[in-house]
Amino acid sequence: MFANLPKRHLRSIAKVTGVREYEKGASVIREGDPGSAFYVRCLTLDKSDFAKILASEPVLATRVVRELAARLRRSEGSALS
């Protein structure tokens, strides 16, 4: 998701990410629970921190939205196949 971002955007995100460890079999998220973080393979990005970065970096926000939209289209396409 972040592979094609400029280094300055990656640094902004890296400053506010953390790593969380979970017991094997533990639930990380539950359907219906309000989202409070963005999870990327064990990296945790607090919702408010991510929102601040996106608000201050419109180019980053646009790239993230494009990537999420592309992933959604691909997942919908594979679900229909």
Tell me the pLDDT tens digit for each residue of 14-56: 898 888 888 999 888 888 888 888 787 778 888 899 899 999 9
DSSP H helices, the chain, are 7-15, 47-56, 58-80
This prediction's pTM: 0.62
65 lies in some domain: yes
60 lies in some domain: yes
32 lies in some domain: no
23 lies in some domain: no
Domain count, the chain: 1
For 56, the domain range is 9-18+37-80
41 lies in some domain: yes
Q: How far apart are CA 71 and CA 60, in angstroms?
A: 17
Query: Over 80: is that where the pLDDT of 62 sits?
Result: yes
What is the maximum span of the chain, computed from C-alpha positions, in angstroms?
40
Nearest alpha-carbon partner for 56 in 18, 11, 17: 11
